[in-house]
Amino acid sequence: MASFISFMLEIVVVWASFSIVSPVTIALASESSSSEAKALFNWKASGNHFPDSWNATDTSPCQWDGINCNAAGRVTKIELSFYNISAKLNRLNFSSFQYLFHLDLTANSLYGSIPDNIGTNLSSIDLGNNKLSGSIPRQMGNLINLIRLDLGNNRLSGSIPRQMGNLINLVWLDLGNNKLSGSIPAQMGNLVSLNELQLRSNKLSGLIPPQMRNLQNLYMLDLSNNRLNDQIPMEIGEMEQLKLLNLSHNKLYGPIPAKMWKHNSSCMEFDLSYNDLEAPSEYLYGKCSVPPYKSSFRRLEGKILIIAYLSTIIPIALVLVAVKLLSRQRLKTSVIDARAQKNGDIFSIWNYDGTIAYSDIMKATEEFDIKYCIGTGGSGSVYIAKLPTGKVVAVKKLHHHHFEVEEKAYEESFINEIHVLTRMRHRNIVKLYGYCSHARCKFLIFEYIEKGSLADILGIEAEAVEFNWKKRLNVIKGVSHALSYLHHDCTPPLIHRDISSNNILLDANLEPHVADFGTARFLNPESSNRTILAGTYGYIAPELAYTMVVTEKCDVYSFGVLILETIMGRHPGELISLFSLPNAKDVILKDMLDPRLPLPTQLVAQDLNFSMMIAIACLHTNPKSRPTMQYISQELGSPMNSHSDVFQ
């Protein structure tokens, strides 16, 4: 759906760029384009980090970076995303651009207010991920040609103007992550063309307008992290195209409308957590073979939740049965007697109330005695557990924290890892067998990976020597396949956000398994994807420091660091900056090799050299110039790796 929308937007944009050029238009083109050039250059003079090609001596801006013109030489597009431009938006004289229909200034450092005269013919406005403040001008409701509007991830305040309801051609609207207050205008129900509506993380209060039911083309609605304080209107259940609904972290109360799943033949996924809602027994039953609901309410305690591994067309099924209402604020979950069997190997038998499952883990670890601990991280400790069936598993137990903010953060990471890994199935990604949300503790149950982390092996000389060049190349290749799967085979794409040698586990055959998905994030191609900084120091892509926008190229950068670390036998540290220089590809391979291993054969050296070239390309300072993981995975998997087009 999202790709189709993008395709349609491109058609509209291309169509809008063609216009009949009259003799009068041609006659005035020179004077008008000069006016446009002056407006742009004056804007440049008021700020920083503008393209060098913007030259005051040019009477026409059509050859300037980020500027597109029509046949008459009039500016039709301004595309300056990710330039880190620092300037006041309202210092740009928009009245000079009568033919402008596409404005993209995403991910800069623009500040000030949105001008009232931002344009009349615009069909697309992208101002997300900036520092814009003030209110949304009501005059924006006059931009009736708008198809796309992104004002997300700014500092906008005030209420949402009711005039926004005039934008009946809008397909995509993002006002999320601002400081907007007041109620959601009923006029939003007029935006019948909308496919996606993002109002998350504001200060919106009141009720969800029942007029939202008019948005019959809407497939994604995110109202999370607001102050909405009424019942969920039953009309939400009448939005039959809705696939993703997030109402979490509000003050909603009362019963969940039955219509939300009565018409759920297409498996809508919703998150209603952190509210004050009542759940009728029908809540669990839909028309899908796998329950489609993300039913993570505020208090899930006392019982264990199991993920059954199946060797069927549905690789992982989340088994949730019998949600019982205790009170408006308290819900308890219990599970069905479930068995997971693959090739005759029964993982375990979990009885109805979860006591056997819980007691198995507690007994196997002697209530998490330190002697079973095989690793400790910021969010929890990992224990080895041998179950009664003989199956050995790794159990990650979350730490308890005294501060509520830390407790909340780690709980969100816990839920996120469950949500992500229940959808993943790849030989180079660690398997999640089950999890427990208990009053005494929370833990995750993973497959046991014998050798530990890549960092551990590289840090122990005896292990590092056994870890020869071919095995290291195989690890690089395996991780690339896993990341390619996450970025290109998952819908929507998944960004890991913390690729490091600590999060690559190696089994007995030194096959890699990507682990720790606590900060992973599904990428929304139609959203700004702004986020808090996450990851491990030394692996984080440099653009995250000033854009806070997560893309798949963030993982690509981390993968480049990982390649160097695997070949060098240690983290490259300050050497990373050298690899971003133009002559980086002239680095001599033998100077980079782990000295603990003998020099490679000529054939292996070629593969190592190619991997180094890939790493250098991954570390490019411009994320758009980095290769995709799909390309990397294909190239590393090919028999001949003496390619030179990595840098092209």
- Write out the catalytic residue numbers: 498
Nearest to 373 by CA among 392, 396, 391: 396
Which residues have a Cβ under 8 Å from the Cβ of 584 and sit 6 or more positions away?
A: 578, 616, 619
Report how far residue 382's alpha carbon sits from residue 187's, in angstroms, rounded to the nearest whole number. 52
Nearest to 38 by CA among 16, 19, 18, 64: 64
Helices 629-636 and 552-568: angle between axes, nearest 10 degrees: 40
Length of the chain: 648
Report how far residue 534's alpha carbon sits from residue 439's, in angstroms, rounded to the nearest whole number. 28
The continuous run of DSSP H or E covering 405 comes out as: helix 404-421
What's the half-sphere exposure (Cβ side, CA atoms, 13 Å) at 306? 24
Determine whether the annotation assigns residue 262 to a binding site: no
| SS percent in the chain: helix, strand, coil, step 5 | 35, 20, 45
Peptide bond into 492 cis (omega under 30): yes
Report how far residue 234's alpha carbon sits from residue 547's, in angstroms, rounded to the nearest whole number. 39
Nearest to 481 by CA among 423, 426, 432: 426
Buried b (16+ CB within 10 A) or exposed e, 569-598: bbbbeeebeebeeeebeebebeebbbeebe
Report how far residue 574's alpha carbon sits from residue 139's, in angstroms, rounded to the nearest whole number. 50
Report how far residue 10's alpha carbon sits from residue 584's, in angstroms, rounded to the nearest whole number. 37
User: What is the phi-psi region of residue 367: left when phi exceeds 0, alpha when psi lies from -120 to 50, beta otherwise?
Assistant: left
> Is the separation of the CB atoms in 45 and 91 below 8 Å?
no
Report the 3 state secondary structure along 243-310: CEEECCCCCCEEECCCHHHHCCCCCCEEECCCCEEECCHHHHCCCCCCCCCECCCCCECCEEEEEEEC
Which amino acid would we find at residue 429?
A: I
The continuous run of DSSP H or E covering 605 comes out as: helix 602-618
Task: Provide the annotated binding site.
Answer: 397
Task: Provide the annotated binding site for ATP.
Answer: 397
